[in-house]
Structure 1
Amino acid sequence: MKNQPRKWLRLSPLLILLAGCAAGGVPQSTAHLSTLQCRDLAALRNNAPPTPERNRSELAALRQAGYDPSRWYDPYYPGDLQAAQRQVDRWFQAECQQVPPA
């Protein structure tokens, strides 16, 4: 019974974090993708020929979404790449609908 207060002290930050996630988390009002990234991703989705610039834009967006291609051994590959691609897809759907094609 002596360890009960310590246990709650360790769990309380986790519980607060989980409560914030359940309530919707922090509102995201800033754009994750730049206008250039939106144009490049739209071009790649429409089967435009890949260019080094478009590839760099896509890689930058994937890195923003949490993917790190620089690790020598990644035990979570390809799951972490696919998760980042899904996140970029969500950002693209939410933020890039008004961007005119290049």
Structure 2
Amino acid sequence: MGNLTDDMTRLRGEVDALRSDRGALMQDLARGAKDLASSVSAMQSGFSAAHATMAKKTGRARATYVSRIKRQVGRMRKENAADLAGASQVWFGKAK
């Protein structure tokens, strides 16, 4: 019976060691997840700050671009209206 007792004692020791290792692993995983969440949060804050800075820098350029496009479209609409009016005069004669 000595061998069985020794084997059971050894097996119990291995179970305890594995349980301890599993507990340490779970703690390491929890700590790693917490650290990862913290670093992701910091990274997102950095992205937000960079985006705000970029928006401030490019806001004036966007406004200038939109203004220029509006002028160009307005000019094109006037030219188109003039072309249509000219074509109408040619096709139908002068309007009253």
TM-score normalised by the chain length of structure 1: 0.28
The structure that has the greater radius of gyration is 2
**Structure with the higher helix share, 1 or 2:** 2
TM-score normalised by the chain length of structure 2: 0.30
Which is bigger in relative contact order (C-alpha 8 A, separation at least 6)? Answer: 1
